Structure 1
Amino acid sequence: MQPMPDYSLSVTEQLKSLTASGTLQVDSAQMDVAKCLDRVLAALKRKRPASKSSALGWLFASKKKTEAGIRGLYIHGSVGRGKTMLMDMFFQMAPCRKKRRAHFHEFMADVHNRIAAHRQKLKNGETKQADPMPPVAAALFEEAELLCFDEFTVTDIADAMILSRLFSELFARGCVLVATSNVEPDNLYWEGLNRGLFLPFVGLLKRHVEIVSLDSPTDYRMEKLNSQPVYLIPIDERTDMAMDASWTQALHGRKAQPTEIAMKGRAIHVPFAVDRMARFSFSDLCEKPLGAADFLAIAERFDTIFLDHIPLLGPEKRNQIKRFIILIDTLYDHGTRLYASAAAMPEELLIERCGTEGFEFDRTASRLFEMRSAEYLAAHHERRAAE
């Protein structure tokens, strides 16, 4: 059983304690963001007693909260600066009875599933509510009054078109949002299709969250890089042989076979799989019409992925680049061990930086580096041992 967080602490105090012990380096930029998180934390603590009162008192408290809700926080900055670490500290301390921390793509996949389920109820005559957004938002808020998103990013037009309406409903109910991102709000969904329809969400976001930048001069992910032979370049016969050798070693004499993951009337084809290990090519996952929900299903089914032949990614591969970004985000978020062969080192895969993908790929390259680190691989082994 997990110990209860110490609500008497603040993010600033925990950060000071870690730097005093030598666990972390002193970083004034991180300390500034910690103070912003403490503002939200203090507001949540002030609100907490109201949630313990009678049912009627809670009702009046909810109405008051809707009129003057707690302002959340949107932290943006370059990769490896400690955004996720600070948000995780905050989330552990947040005294909310109902809170949710999720990767943004995972959350939106859940939202789309709920919308589809509501539309099916409407079709079956089980509800007369034609608009799915109010009941979906109500259900989400009932489960979590605090939402924490790691790596907030918008690349999918389906997500872009519903965000304004979804969060209008959530914020009206008093939902508090804390998010990290590589890009500031004005650059979200940059050059996206029908971006004008997305822009009202940016204005809504700015009204309900404080925008802060984490501009630490140190990339901590690069500092702890300790390369392991799990990312091989270039794509040639020698690399293929090395990947095959690692795959054979991982099989331990077992025989891999094709399998499928059922997905709402269709299936994701897995060329080779055994237990919780699978092998795909870049083409299998990024040149087919797969999305965040598909990659989430793969990450939940397998904890070790072999990915062959990641090519150089030029402007003509924009769809493949988007899928690759979402794939790596999902695998990283689930602590998946990744073996990969590629045409170049992560930071050299993207031939030309343009549009949203240019911003997002910095994070992808950083995560590919970290997924090779001794710390990441050790954490993977610890999770497997605990299962």
Structure 2
Amino acid sequence: MQGSSFSSSDVAHLTDRRPSVTPERLVAQLVPPPTFADVSFDTYRPDPAEPTQAAAVEACRRFCAQALERRAGKKKLFGKREVLPGVGIYLDGGFGVGKTHLLASSYYEVGGDDVKRAFATFGELTQLAGVFGFVECIDLLADYALVCIDEFELDDPGNTTLISRLLSALVEKGVSVAATSNTLPEQLGEGRFAAQDFLREINTLAAMFTTVRIEGPDYRHRGLPPAPEPLSDDEVAQRAADVPGATLDDFDALCAHLATMHPSRYLTLIEGVSEVFLTGVHPLDDQNVALRLVSLTDRLYDAGIPVVASGAKLDTVFSDEMLAGGFRKKYLRATSRLLALTAAGQTGRAIT
């Protein structure tokens, strides 16, 4: 391309990357993503038309104060303290109402040099337990004041039992838990597996939390145009060649590559990437492929990495059949985030 110091052959490919994640890296990743690195309760802007948003801020502030009180414990004789069980808050609401903003704000509000806390997606938390082992994971987090879990979801019976036992043990040890989700605690697992067979675990989880409902429209779509018209393959390749730090991949090749690694590695996969360019995007018919794309989309959104694509519009990737199934809310969240990512890729607008 004339005037460019890059050629298409210079562009890197995600499919060439083989990331690995050490246990130490998993622990180091237990912080809010870059797009929420500077948030606070004061920077949250409640919609005046949605009073539940301002109420959620106050509920989170109270929760943080309680979490610190519980971690400090109750004074006993001779200066000793009795550990008090942790508390839980569950932020339930639609897409783009600021749940993750409030979750990250809670993380920072409880923070301090001598206060341990963790921030993880639900998938990262289950991966942490898998890598360290159940008992070791409890030992690792037992002296934390707060564990924040973004997009709490139960996709299979094993995760239901694991997370129920893990959080129960942590709460008993004085760890408070804050979570976000698009599904009420007592409805976790519905439509995904035989949830009625795991009602005890689900009810145990529900009993840990005070649910705070947040209403409102998706802020990511305020003022945004519809999904942009896709570029041609050649246009995508040419634009990728002009962006230092960009990657260029065929959609099917990337989807196949994602299948070769655990989703916990996706964050490392996109590390240092400035913009993702995709060619040949098309609707998916395999749910396993679709769920891996959801995980990658979440990591791209958290890192604020724009996406530019050719082929089908990115808001058509998940079929009507998929949107009617048990993972509907996951696919809708991913679509919402893909719209924001592609709008940023087309206009240069920052992802917020």
TM range (shorter): 0.7 to 0.9
Match of 1:102 among 120, 136, 144: 120
Aligned equivalents of 1:200, 1:282: Cα separation in 2: 41
Aligned equivalents of 1:88, 1:183: Cα separation in 2: 19
Is 1:146–2:146 an aligned residue pair?
A: yes
Task: Report the residue type matching 2:139 in the other structure.
Answer: A
Match of 2:268 among 293, 297, 315: 297
Q: Which has the larger radius of gyration?
A: 1
Aligned to 2:239: 246
> Is contact 2:86-2:173 (8 Å) kept?
no
Question: Any residues of structure 2 matched to 1:334-373 within 5 Å, and which?
Answer: 334-346=303-315, 349-352=318-321, 353-373=323-343
- Ranges in structure 1 where 5+ consecutive residues have no aligned partner: 1-9, 116-132, 252-275, 383-387
> Is contact 1:45-1:95 (8 Å) kept?
no
Aligned residues: 306
Aligned to 2:104: 88
User: RCO higher in 1 or 2 (8 Å CA, sep ≥ 6)?
Assistant: 2
Per-residue CA distance 1:282-309 (angstroms, 9 max, x = gap): 3234343543123233133534322333
Aligned to 1:72: 88
Task: Report the residue type matching 1:30 in the other structure.
Answer: Q
> Is contact 1:157-1:192 (8 Å) kept?
no
> Is contact 2:315-2:335 (8 Å) kept?
yes
Aligned equivalents of 1:98, 1:329: Cα separation in 2: 25
Give percent identity, aligned residues only: 24
Aligned to 1:265: none
Aligned to 1:61: 82
SS in 1 for 2:243: helix
Aligned to 1:114: 132
Aligned to 2:12: none
> Is contact 2:251-2:281 (8 Å) kept?
yes
Aligned equivalents of 2:260, 2:268: Cα separation in 1: 15
Change (3 A) 1:322 1:57: farther
SS in 2 for 1:369: helix
> Is contact 1:44-1:70 (8 Å) kept?
yes
Change (3 A) 1:78 1:325: same
1:379 deviation in Å?
5.0
Aligned to 1:318: 287
SS in 2 for 1:39: helix
Aligned to 1:258: none
Task: Report the residue type matching 2:232 in the other structure.
Answer: T
1:377 deviation in Å?
5.2
Which segment is superposed worse, 166-175 or 333-342? 333-342
Aligned to 2:296: 327
Change (3 A) 1:89 1:247: same
RMSD over aligned CA atoms reads: 3.4
Which segment is superposed worse, 322-331 or 37-46? 37-46
Aligned equivalents of 1:279, 1:212: Cα separation in 2: 41
1:333 deviation in Å?
1.6
Aligned to 1:223: 222
Change (3 A) 1:197 1:171: farther
Aligned equivalents of 1:297, 1:158: Cα separation in 2: 26
1:215 deviation in Å?
1.8
Task: Report the residue type matching 2:135 in the other structure.
Answer: P
1:195 deviation in Å?
4.3
Relative to the length of structure 1, the TM-score reads: 0.68
> Is contact 2:279-2:311 (8 Å) kept?
yes
Aligned equivalents of 1:157, 1:377: Cα separation in 2: 42
Aligned equivalents of 2:250, 2:304: Cα separation in 1: 20
1:98 deviation in Å?
0.9
- Ranges in structure 2 where 5+ consecutive residues have no aligned partner: 1-39
> Is contact 2:281-2:309 (8 Å) kept?
yes
Aligned equivalents of 1:157, 1:342: Cα separation in 2: 37
Aligned equivalents of 1:155, 1:211: Cα separation in 2: 20
Task: Report the residue type matching 1:39 in the other structure.
Answer: R
Aligned equivalents of 2:189, 2:269: Cα separation in 1: 25
> Is contact 2:67-2:176 (8 Å) kept?
no
Relative to the length of structure 2, the TM-score reads: 0.74
